[in-house]
Amino acid sequence: MGRTIIINVIRFLLLVFMQAFLLKNITFYNLSTPYFYILFILLLPFEIPNVLLFVLSFLLGLTVDAFYDTPGLHASACVVLALVRILFINITVQKEGFDNEPEPTLSIMGFRWFFTYAVILTFAHHFFLLTLEVFRFSEIQYTLSRVVLSSIFTVFLILVSGLLFFKRKERK
Q: Is the pLDDT of residue 58 over 60?
A: yes
Q: Domain spans of the chain? A: 2-164
DSSP per-residue codes, 89-131: HHHHHHHHT-TT--S--HHHH-HHHHHHHHHHHHHHHHHHHHH
Q: What is the pLDDT of residue 87?
A: 93
Residue closest to 105 by CA, chosen among 57, 158, 47, 35? 158
Calculate what percentage of the chain has a pLDDT beyond 70.
91
Q: Cα separation of 35 and 59, whole Å?
A: 16
Q: What is the mean pLDDT of residues 125-139?
A: 90
pLDDT grade for 55, boundaries at 50, 70 and 90 = very high
Q: Cα separation of 113 and 106, whole Å?
A: 8
Q: Are 46 and 101 in contact (CB under 8 A)?
A: yes
Least trusted range by pLDDT, from 80-84, 134-138, 151-155, 157-161 = 134-138
- Confidence (pTM): 0.89
SS (H, E, C) 1-63: CHHHHHHHHHHHHHHHHHHHHCHHHCCECCCECCCHHHHHHHCCCCCCCHHHHHHHHHHHHHH
pLDDT (tens digit per residue) in 89-119? 988 876 555 556 678 888 888 889 999 999 9
Q: What is the pLDDT of residue 170?
A: 47
User: Given its phi and psi angles, is residue 110 left (phi above 0), alpha (psi -120 to 50 degrees) or beta?
Assistant: left
